A = this chain, B = another copy of it.
């Protein structure tokens, strides 16, 4: 049902936390360690550790080893999009299996597949949506999100 994984959830929470410490705080140079976040949000410590390592490897946060070590944002919160976070944890966004098929790989249905093109379009729209929202937007008051619907016509919920 188009669900994002728990790990991504944790990543978002952690980044949100790190960002808010880093900005709204009296101790701007302060780094945040894994344990602090895990306890604050009831996240399994070692799982969160993995998540933060992923984020570190993809260059969103930087790590400090040793006592008093921890993480801090590697760039401005405005330069970190939801899409980037998601892809950093779950890999490339793919709404369908054939989204990232290499040349020569085909699904069983490819031969007469009638939905690939429209689905890729939907995927692209979702990607844009996620790529237009930044960590900064999640922090406080600036929710935006504009919708690019590929077509017209609408119904109700």
Contact = CB atoms under 8 A, between A and B. Distances in A.
A109 B42 contact: yes
A26 interface: no
Counted per complex, copies of this chain come to 2
A41 B98 CA distance: 15
Interface in A98-157: 108-109, 111-115, 117-122, 124-134, 136-138, 141-145, 147-157
Interface in A10-56: 12-13, 16-17, 20, 40-43
Interface of A: 1-4, 6, 9, 12-13, 16-17, 20, 40-43, 78-79, 81-82, 84, 86, 90-97, 108-109, 111-115, 117-122, 124-134, 136-138, 141-145, 147-157
